[in-house]
Chains A and B, each alone.
Chain A
């Protein structure tokens, strides 16, 4: 892969509108049981405007930024050789139904180790007011060509 990707910042993604049913669907899929993930009343009692997305829901918004990275013409990343190494989310606040979110990707590090490359991609997710919501950081391992 292209080491000159380090420091590259991609254009912000198209806004993602978080739907209430999408939050419920994702919540069921990760075995969530907390009422704030499903019931607006419970979410409201806890101080939120609508149902609250589980912590890893941010990956749904992050995904379009990783697609940008893999599609980068000079990136040289072969998707079929990519393995997910690490994942991290740093939150300012939880994602809530009704949020309109935009993600901006930056490549923060590329390391090469025994033919494999490790690329760290950081996606900062902000709401419609420009306030930070969560940053999703993925380290992807791009395996070396088959011997």
Chain B
């Protein structure tokens, strides 16, 4: 993969997260904070409604990189900042779009920068995956 070019988009993918997805993630992760499945609880703490788990957004956002990487390397580091909530509508859910771009290339490693948006606004900041190429 020495031909990686800084600025090149290596993957782009959209995911629709529904309330069902949140219940599934709650069970799988053990994060049962009720703001992720009860509007009344979300409202009581000043939120507009049920939010996706930040860690669900983080977990989904790296998947295009995992698929692109395949067996050509491994992930050495993955970081995000949670900047905006993802409000999940009970009927239509929320569509999260991930664009993965080469941010930097260095001797056997690359930094992949993720732009993760919901309703045309970024929801993760400084979302970076460092991969070590096999």
Contact = CB atoms under 8 A, between A and B. Distances in A.
Interface of A: 22, 25-26, 28-34, 46, 54-56, 59-60, 63, 80, 83-91, 93-94
Contact of B30 (A32, A63, A83, A86): A63
B56 A87 contact: no
11 contacts: A29-B27, A30-B56, A32-B63, A55-B78, A56-B55, A56-B58, A80-B45, A85-B81, A87-B54, A88-B78, A93-B74
B40 interface: no
Contact of B79 (A29, A59, A83, A89): A89
Contacts of A29: 21, 24-25, 27-29, 56, 59
B124 to A, nearest CB: 10
A87 B71 CA distance: 25
A62 to B, nearest CB: 10
Contact of A84 (B30, B77, B82): B82
A87 B124 CA distance: 11
Contacts of A26: 28-29
A55 B56 contact: no
Interface residues of B, number: 32
Contacts of A90: 76-77
A31 B15 contact: yes
Nearest to B31: A63
A88 B78 CA distance: 6
B99 interface: no
Contacts of B58: 56, 87
Nearest to A138: B55
Nearest to A23: B28
B80 interface: yes
A93 B77 CA distance: 10
A124 to B, nearest CB: 14
B67 A34 contact: yes
The residue among A59, A63, A83 with the most chain B CB atoms within 10 A of its own CB is A59
B9 interface: no
Contacts of B133: none
Contact of A56 (B45, B59, B71): B59
B66 A87 contact: no
B75 interface: yes
Contacts of A84: 54-55, 82
